[in-house]
Amino acid sequence: MEILIISGLSGAGKSRVAAALEDLDFYCVDNMPVSLIPKFAELCAATRGRYERVALVTDVRSRESFDELFEALDELMALGFEYKILYVDATVETIVKRYKETRRRHPLDGESGGLEQAVRKEIKILEPVRRRADYTIDTSGLTLGRLQRTLFRMFGAGGEDRMRVSVMSFGFKYGIPIEADIVFDVRFLPNPFYVPELMEKSGLEKDVADYVLSSEQANKFMDKFRDLIDFLLPNYEEEGKTSLTICIGCTGGRHRSVAVTESLAKYLADKGHETECIHRDIDKV
């Protein structure tokens, strides 16, 4: 079982880190009391594989509590559990700005002579934890997308951080899929429904796909379509999206949208994207 202890400065982004790790199949618990860490690890181990990756966010703010944290971690080792510590850091200026923007109160404010002094006091208190950390992330200036990619590089399988793309065909007569991030209408393409020998077939069959995609109009569209998707995907990844659903619709979702969806899905898969191809309405009458 993989156990990751997340600690660091208040306001540095520990909860955001935990949320991003959930996309990497970590079971995350925020504000875990340090005294419960060994017992929690035993409970997870007793599930026999249900919780293979566990991330525990600890909020350590006093000398006594980080001593207790180290004792709990030593107990973990004695029980046979290995762990890593991820320390989430940020500059004093960044944390002060974040607290002013959110109007939240720093946990040590009121006992340290103001917000900046509270942050500096916490830095000193947490220095032993920082020194013991296996990983450190400074979130100053990091967008959510960059933070996620940093975590994916650290903890993702094989270091991969590429977005998963679902390409879905549908029929407008049955409604736009609720999971759609992007919707394209291909009802302007040649319609096999009006060709007797193609009407009963679907866009999965070669003669139907050829009919839809072989015209000059379709070729121009597919070139521009692929260029647009090539532009969009890295920008969505930059903003931190881990999955994207591209929905392509025609009237009934059986011919044109299916052919275009198959073509785009193959194009993306050939470029190394994790791609899923779905035909929602292909069997509807």
Q: For the chain, which domains are there?
A: 2-159 (3.40.50.300), 164-279 (no CATH)
Compute the average pLDDT of residues 246-259: 97
What is the 8-class DSSP label of residue 215?
S
Whose tokens are 């069959």? That residue is: 205
pTM: 0.61
- pLDDT tens-digit map of 138-192: 999 888 877 887 888 888 765 455 688 999 999 999 999 999 999 999 999 999 9
Residue 262: pLDDT band with limits 50, 70, 90: very high
- Mean pLDDT score of the chain: 89
Length of the chain: 285
Beta-sheet strand order (sheet of 135-138): 27-29, 53-57, 2-8, 83-89, 135-138
| Predicted confidence (pLDDT) per residue in 23-70, tens digit | 888 999 988 888 889 999 998 888 877 888 999 998 765 555 677 888
Main-chain dihedrals φ then ψ at residue 24, nearest 5 degrees: -105, 20
For 180-219, write each residue's pLDDT tens digit: 999 999 999 999 999 999 999 999 999 999 999 999 999 9
d(C-alpha 241, C-alpha 10), whole Å: 25
Does 21 score more than 80 pLDDT? yes
Task: Provide, rounded to the nearest whole percent, the portion of the chain with pLDDT above 70.
Answer: 94
pLDDT at residue 136 in the model: 93
Torsion over CA: 152, 153, 157, 161 (sign): positive
Question: Shortest CA distance to 6 belongs to which of 104, 151, 145?
Answer: 151
Around Cβ 280, how many Cβ atoms within 10 Å? 20
